[in-house]
Amino acid sequence: MRSSPTDAFAPNGSRPPLPIWQDNESYGRLLSEDPERAADWARRAAVAGERRVQVTWGHMLLTGHGVAADPAAALRWFRSAAKAGDAEGANMLGRCYELGLGTQRDVVEAAAWYRIAADANDPWGCFNLASLLLQRDASAATAKTALSLLVRSARRGNAKAMNMIGRWLEEGWTGHVKPDAAPRWYLRAARRGCFRAQFHTARLLLRAGNVEQAASWVEKCLHIAPPEFRADVIQFLGRHDDARVRQLIELASLQPSRALEAVIPEPSKPHVRAQKPSLLKRWRHARKYAFRRAARLRQPHRA
Which domains does the chain possess? 1-120 (1.25.40.10)
30 pLDDT band, cuts 50/70/90, is low
Q: Which residue has the higher pLDDT, 139 or 268?
A: 139
pLDDT at position 179 is 77
Q: Name which of 59, 70, 126 is nearest 103 in CA terms.
A: 70
Q: What global pTM score does this model have?
A: 0.71
Lowest-confidence segment of 5-9, 34-38, 151-155, 291-295 by average pLDDT: 5-9
Residues 253-294 pLDDT 10s: 655 544 333 333 333 333 334 444 555 565 666 666 665 655
The CA-atom distances, in angstroms, between 35 and each of 24, 71, 74 are 15, 18, 17
Among 55-59, 196-200, 276-280, which stretch is predicted with the lowest mean pLDDT?
276-280
Using alpha carbons only, what angle is made at residue 248 by residues 242 and 253, rounded to the nearest 5 degrees?
Answer: 135
* pLDDT of res. 18: 36
User: Could you please report the per-residue DSSP string of 125-192?
Assistant: HHHHHHHHHHHH---HHHHHHHHHHHHHHHHTT-HHHHHHHHHHHHHTTTS---TTTHHHHHHHHHHT
Per-residue confidence band for 200, with pLDDT thresholds at 50, 70 and 90: very high
- What rounded mean pLDDT belongs to the chain? 77
In the structure, what pLDDT confidence band is assigned to residue 94 with cuts at 50, 70 and 90? very high
pLDDT of residue 290: 62
CB–CB of 8/136 below 8 Å? no
Number of H helices, E strands in the chain: 15, 0
What span, in angstroms and rounded, lies between the C-alpha atoms of 211 and 43? 51
- What share of the chain has pLDDT > 90, as a percent? 39
**Using 50, 70 and 90 to split pLDDT, how confident is the model at 58?**
very high
From CA 222, how far away is CA 241, in angstroms rounded?
Answer: 21
pLDDT mean over 4-29? 41
Q: What are the Cα distances from residue 31, in Å, to 23, 36, 41, 299?
A: 12, 8, 10, 49
- Residue 152 confidence (pLDDT) above 80: yes
